[in-house]
Copies of this chain bind each other. A is one copy, B any other.
């Protein structure tokens, strides 16, 4: 039976990647101001040297370093004050031996000077004289042209998630547009006759719709753009109509629900009716989340994802597959996982990769991971957790005190 053909997580990931090779992400140009948290879609190289001129890193006096060689606290060296470099102005003077010029942090060094003495080690006297009580080496307290970045240096790496300092570096270099990945457009369809809106009071047998809200938030967290969200009854025609519409304006169509027997095949049937090549993964060896299906439509370039109805399963599969895929196609790195020791033995499901939600605690530089136990589908197993770790499918389980890597939510 087709639904028993279950892929490993690695196999499912490879199929995902292969299926979207025609393109899941596109690029757009934004200003650095708009780029925070976005992923760079192209390498950016520095167009010029930064700084463009020799700058002082301190407030003080530009000197010829050789002039200061004999300076000490008890026997200062005396120099002639030849002028001052104003901020934002070129240094319109040239120093010769025995001369110095006042310069401020970030100011331009005069020709002839090759170091700066900090103001703390100087004393002006008589308007034209300066006593210096500390020697400086050649180049001391000076940043050379191109020392921060040289023209042609890699300023921003493709695949990097853009941080405030990157925006600062782009500003410094005068790069006023940056190519980033455009948000991937997603539609989220939640199916189930039992679902009512959160503001409604469920009658016996009904439950409030969790998945639309939890998955929408997860999609936003991963930088997706939500085209629309809908709640549908367990009706194949309604689902088919909704998926067809979504395929026209979305890069990813996510259907959650359909875990019950009659419905199990409904999402697959709809995907296979509408898409070519259609469904290629009929289940994944992962706990929770086995009844996940994956497919693709070449014509509309739409990724089709059928997630379990259980919110916990749906969210874990989203993290492990969709989140992974989005990073992979952009060449982005996941946030570093936290090494921790588990506080108790945990079981592995035979043949399945098991995701364990856990709480992190830190003592000194060591973390412990306390698994959060709970029955299938309980949302509080996720709200009480800081992250999750993975027990591999071939393990007997993991022992108390064993090392795991915790991926933060």
Contact = CB atoms under 8 A, between A and B. Distances in A.
Nearest to A36: B217
A82 interface: no
A380 B164 contact: no
A199 B174 contact: yes
A375 interface: yes
Contact of A210 (B171, B176, B215, B315): B171
How extensive is the interface on chain A, given as a class? 35 or more
Contacts of A209: 171
Interface string A57-88: 11100000000000000000000000001111
B91 A205 contact: yes
B260 A87 contact: yes
Contacts of A169: 210, 379-380, 382-383
A397 interface: no
B205 A174 contact: no
A219 B310 CA distance: 37
Interface string A281-325: 000000000000000000000000000011100010000000000
Contacts of A259: 59, 104-106
A87 B205 contact: yes
B164 A221 contact: yes
A375 B57 CA distance: 8
Nearest to A260: B104
Contacts of A163: 217, 221, 382-383, 409
A353 interface: no
Contact of A403 (B58, B213, B365): B365
Contacts of A264: 59
A156 B32 CA distance: 35
A137 to B, nearest CB: 13
Interface in A166-208: 166-176, 192-195, 198-208
Nearest to A35: B217
Nearest to A319: B164
B207 A51 contact: yes
Given A166-B383, A214-B168, A309-B105, A174 B194 contact: no
A173 B368 CA distance: 30
A220 interface: yes
Contact of A378 (B90, B148, B156, B203): B148
A198 B383 contact: no
A310 B379 contact: no
B261 A59 contact: yes
A211 B165 CA distance: 9
Given A149-B380, A213-B33, A365-B339, A176 B204 contact: no
Nearest to A195: B88
10 contacts: A36-B217, A52-B204, A88-B193, A89-B205, A104-B260, A105-B310, A108-B204, A168-B383, A171-B212, A172-B311
Interface of A: 32-33, 36-37, 50-53, 55, 57-59, 85-91, 104-108, 119, 143, 147-149, 153, 155-156, 163-176, 192-195, 198-218, 220-221, 234, 259-264, 309-311, 315, 335-336, 338-339, 360, 362, 365-367, 374-380, 382-383, 385-386, 403-405, 408-409
Given A163-B409, A167-B214, A171-B212, 4 more contacts: A36-B221, A87-B260, A165-B382, A168-B217
